[in-house]
Amino acid sequence: MTDKKALNALISIKNWGQSSELEKLLKYNSNTISLFHVMGKSSYIIDAAFISKSDLEDWIRLIKGVSLPGGVPAILDLQTRKIIEVNKGKQKFSLTDYMKTPDMLHFFMFIDTSGESNDLIESIQKMDSVFAALHIQGEHSYVIEIIAENYNDFKNILTEIKKLESVNRVETQEVISVLKYRGEISDDKGNLLFPEEDTREMYTL
């Protein structure tokens, strides 16, 4: 059962160098609901849930405190975006489902819009390769998750979205791996498990 009082946020992190400590912290942290390693402007995209704003502030301090050998901060940039509304969401989807699609292309597309965005919402509802769409606060208006069979499928979605009058700018980031999904992870032996019990279940992605 979802806790309506929980603060749900989409967080982007850009890190410096290779930090296994940072990845381990993100993966096993109970605030992290889903964790995607991405290629592009960010290093990680995180679907996270917090009890309050102070809980979020404590989490940010914890993450920013991670250092590389020699004391160099691991985090170059961290952006939080409050999730306003879920416009399209995956219902029965799990980490196992992601593991079954290793040959498919997986992207997050951040979209900046102006005015009414009904044309965008109507279009993405019809696109089978768009698995999730979130209305968010911050630099961008929406983020959509695309799992495409091939590049042409992805290119067609990108072309259609850029044609929409409400769309000003589009930025894509490709997913390298899904490290955690809806609280579930794959351990070092490949076993699926829930490292910590979390009753918030903020299934936005």
pLDDT per residue rounded down to tens, the chain (205 residues): 344 567 899 999 999 866 688 999 999 998 999 999 999 899 999 999 998 999 999 999 999 999 887 788 889 999 999 999 999 988 788 888 888 887 899 999 999 998 789 999 999 999 999 999 999 998 899 999 999 999 999 999 999 999 999 999 999 999 999 999 998 888 776 777 777 665 455 567 7
**What gap in Å lies between CA 9 and CA 71, rounded to an integer?**
28
What is residue 115's predicted lDDT score, i.e. its pLDDT? Answer: 78
Q: Are residues 131 and 189 in the same domain?
A: no
Q: Are residues 62 and 136 in the same domain?
A: no
Q: Are residues 98 and 152 in the same domain?
A: yes
Q: Are residues 89 and 171 in the same domain?
A: yes
Identity of residue 133: A
Q: Is 204 domain-assigned? A: no
Buried/exposed code over 140-170 (b: 16+ C-beta within 10 A; e: otherwise) = bbbbbbbbbeeeebbeebbeebeebebbeeb
Q: Are residues 184 and 169 in the same domain?
A: no
Q: Are residues 121 and 147 in the same domain?
A: yes
What is residue 90's predicted lDDT score, i.e. its pLDDT? Answer: 85
Q: Name residues whose C-beta falls within 8 Å of residue 142's C-beta, 6 or more positions apart in sequence.
A: 87, 110, 111, 113, 117, 120, 133, 134, 135, 136
What is residue 173's predicted lDDT score, i.e. its pLDDT? Answer: 96
Domain of 108, in residue numbers = 85-175
Q: Are residues 74 and 107 in the same domain?
A: no
Q: Are residues 62 and 137 in the same domain?
A: no
CB atoms within 10 A of CB 63: 22
| CA quadruple 148, 109, 178, 42: dihedral sign | positive
Q: Is 198 domain-assigned? A: no
Q: Is the separation of the CB atoms in 134 and 204 below 8 Å? A: yes
Task: Determine how β-strand 32-39 pairs with β-strand 105-113.
Answer: unpaired
Q: Is the separation of the CB atoms in 16 and 73 below 8 Å? A: yes
Q: Are residues 99 and 53 in the same domain?
A: no
Q: Are residues 71 and 91 in the same domain?
A: no
What is residue 1's predicted lDDT score, i.e. its pLDDT? Answer: 35
Domain count, the chain: 2
CB atoms within 10 A of CB 52: 11
